[in-house]
Structure 1
Amino acid sequence: WLPQVEYFASKPDEYSVLIFDQRGYGNSQVPRGRYTTSQMALDILSLLAETDIAPADARAFHIVGVSMGGMIALELAKRYAPLLKSLTLISTTSGRAYGAADRFATGLPPLRGVSAIARVMGGRLLGIDSDAFRIKKFTTLLFPAQWLDEPCERLPHAARVPSNRQWFAETFQWRYRYTHRQALPGALAQIAATLTHRVSNAELRHNIDAHVPRTLVLTGDDDNLVNPDNSRHLLANMPRARLVRLTGGGHALNMQFPARVNRLIEENVNEGEDLVAQGGW
């Protein structure tokens, strides 16, 4: 989220930003037992209760979620839509293949994603992989191969890291030095939460689309983790939402195309603010 935090924090008169580690990850605790996305949505309300944002206030905040964070955002919107001014969903799903047997393949990650996740988790269980190997796997999981091999245009000094692949390898190495490693129980519990997550079609229509002022759905067309058809399904059941498909986009769109994603988030946030100000919500 660093590109988004830096962008919105550069406008302190307009925006305030709150980011956090979900349970089971980073600086947050790793409680024992089963995790669910609905439970993790309640974690957000508990966190907001500790800030100046009063969760009891109607239309108190905007929420943006990527991947599992998008699933949690859907759960929050499903239960507490009157708190939201806008909802931004990036590379995410309503879960469990929409509850239909013939959609099972869509609910699964593409084969490349399944194999990469299995290899990384297997390596962690056996303790056989180096940091460099895990970084390589995660990089190819989050971004399309073609884009990774393109010249890096991110920073003026990027000549020393000529490709996007090398740039993100260095970025992840930096993160590894300054963040807590995710404990294996936390990783497994989070994976279980994503596999059991589901927001029904009726909940998408009647709980979210009818009660959230503005919703944006973002997807790439080369996502190794969440099939883009999941975003089209969200739009089909939330017709008031806006769907944007980024050509050549992978899973981590907010990192791959930070300027474009920042602009789209800002547009959605401002539209939500305007609708609430006009009344009727």
Structure 2
Amino acid sequence: MSPRLPPPSVPTIAETLKHPAYPTALWNLVPDVAGSSAVAQGRGGPIKISWEIHGEGPIKLVLIMGLGGFKTAWQRQTLYFGHERRDQYSVLIFDNRGMGESDKPFMRYSTSEMARDVAELLAHPDVGWLPSFPLPSYPSSVQRTLHIVGISMGGMIAQELACLIPSAIASLGLICTAAAVEQTASFLEHYAQRASLLLPKTPDRSVRDAARRMFSHAWLSAPVDDVHLPDPETTPKVLPPSSGGKYLKFSSNAERFVAQEMHKRLDPKGGFTVKGFLLQLIAAGWHHKSAEQLAKMADEVGRERILVMHGTEDGMISMPHGRKLIDMIKPGMAEISPGLGHCPIVERVEWFHGIIEELVKKGETLSGRG
């Protein structure tokens, strides 16, 4: 048996805040259209959802963020698809209820209600990516134009959305997510640990623990791989950092994560709150789709249009959950990637983009636009 390696080192918050690259950790990507639109009328609302569309291409890509994340966490994908390939893609990003610039009502959250938020946002006149039809009934005659990608809790919302509007979906990417998180004794311990990430007494411990659960330890320990930074001189609607100057590299992958996490937690608009996090946590913890429900969804969407991706080193939603989801859905694309953690959108950016491009191309071809 090989000796157990110590956990990877994670820089302190104080060290990270002093790094020259810290002010440039969030990229200044200007949306083509943005707004804050009301959803959930008659469902405890109205609830304002903050959203942005980047790009003006015909391919409509909808990115659904996970637990406690802001829409800016998609910045690598927003840059790649919505700016560098803006003639091909239009990318919709938004803050789920409870986070960022969206409303944070104090009520019971569920992934099914959050999926209805997304469906209503897509049909809202401000966005206009779906015709407006009453839910939960949705006509099968709607053209398949939406490419949906959801990560973690966002993947749970994406499952519910696919059950609501299957005929509108050209492709569906379920990333590091689950049909349900197994409710065992370890489940309760696991979610207690996730809630403990918010304790203000030990912010360094909180961020360090989050880093070690979200990413593979090998990636955290590796030299920085942030080689693709925004270039305001060559890319449309990309501005220099708000602090001025150029976008800078970090010293390590771990340091880059701590910097982005602290930008979120220190958000001057107060977008990150304990209340919002816990309400989203309840939604993720009690998400449940049966094998029968997922099979019906896969039949209606089309299995060949679906991707399920998971990593063997996922410390947030363990790999067996991904295998179970694959067994239930039997998707056309299944990726269980050795050594991958919970966040391929950060950990394996170029690889992830390539797979999403493959999925989108397949969805476009099956929809008669290939």
Normalized against structure 2, the TM-score is what?
Answer: 0.66
Which of residues 321, 324, 346 is equivalent to 1:233? 324
Give, in whole Å, the separation in 1 of the partners of 2:218 and 2:343. 15
Match of 1:152 among 224, 227, 242: 224
Aligned partner letter, 2:130: A
1:196 partner letter: W
Output the amino acid matched with 2:79.
E
Tell me if the contact between 2:307 and 2:331 (Cα under 8 Å) persists in the aligned partners.
Answer: no
Q: Aligned residue for 1:6?
A: 79
- Distance of 1:184 and 1:58 partners within structure 2: 40
> Residue by residue, what CA displacement relative to the aligned partner does 1:226-275 show, whole Å, maximum 9, x if unpaired?
01111111211222431112221111111111111111111101101100
* 1:32-51 to 2 correspondences below 5 Å: 32-50=106-124, 51=127
Q: Single out whichever of 236-245 and 80-89 deviates more from structure 2.
A: 236-245
Closer/same/farther in 2, CA of residues 43 and 116 from structure 1, 3 Å limit = same
Would you say the 8 A contact 1:226–1:251 is kept in 2? yes
- Shift in CA distance, 233/145, structure 1 to aligned 2, threshold 3 Å: same
Q: For the residues of structure 1 that align with 2:307 and 2:104, how far apart are their CA atoms?
A: 31
Match of 1:60 in 2: 145
Change (3 A) 1:145 1:82: same
- In the superposition, relative to structure 1, how do residues 254 and 177 fare at CA in structure 2: closer, same or farther (>3 Å)? same
Paired residues for 1:89-168 under 5 Å:
89-97=174-182, 104-105=183-184, 108=187, 114=191, 116-121=193-198, 123=199, 127-130=200-203, 132-155=204-227, 161-168=250-257
Q: Is the 8 A contact 2:181 2:321 kept in 1?
A: no
Q: CA deviation at 1:133?
A: 4.1
Identity %: 31
Shift of 1:107: 8.8
Q: 1:60–1:83: 8 Å Cα contact kept in structure 2? A: yes
Q: Does 1:184 align with 2:295?
A: no
Task: Provide the rounded CA distance (Å) in 1 between the counterparts of 2:265 and 2:211.
Answer: 13
Q: Distance in 1 between matches of 2:276 and 2:255?
A: 28
CA separation of 1:47 and 1:238: change in aligned 2, threshold 3 A: same
Q: Note the C-alpha offset of 1:31.
A: 1.1
From the two aligned structures, give the one with the greater strand fraction.
2
RMSD: 2.7
> Which stretch of structure 1 is more off in the superposition, 217-226 or 132-141?
132-141
Contact 1:149 1:164 in 2 (8 A): yes
The answer to which of 23-32 and 45-54 deviates more is: 45-54
Tell me if the contact between 2:308 and 2:331 (Cα under 8 Å) persists in the aligned partners. no
Aligned to 2:12: none
Contact 1:35 1:192 in 2 (8 A): yes
Using CA pairs below 8 Å that are at least 6 residues apart, which structure has the higher relative contact order?
A: 1
Report the equivalent of 1:75: 160
Q: 1:165 to 1:195 in 2, by over 3 A?
A: same
How far apart are 1:92 and its partner, in Å? 0.1
Q: What residue ranges of structure 2 are gaps of 5+ in the alignment? A: 1-73, 133-141, 230-246
Distance, in Å, in 2 between the alignment partners of 1:209 and 1:251 is: 27
- What do residues 183-212 of structure 1 show as CA deviations (whole Å, max 9, x unaligned)? 222111111111211111011112224433
Distance 2:364 2:261 in 1: 35
More helix by share: 1
Q: Which amino acid aligns with 1:187?
A: F
Q: CA deviation at 1:96?
A: 4.7
| Equivalent residue for 2:259, pick from 167, 170, 173 | 170
> Quick check: 1:106–1:227 contact (8 Å CA) kept in 2?
no
Q: What is the distance in 2 between the residues matched to 1:176 and 1:184?
A: 10
C-alpha spacing 1:80/1:156, structure 2 compared with 1 (3 Å): closer
- Runs of 4+ in structure 1 over 6 Å off: 156-160
**Contact 1:116–1:137 (Cα < 8 Å) also in 2:** no
- The answer as to 2:289 corresponding to 1:199 is yes
Could you list the runs of 5+ residues in structure 1 that have no partner in the other structure? 98-103
Q: Displacement of 1:174 after TM fit?
A: 3.7
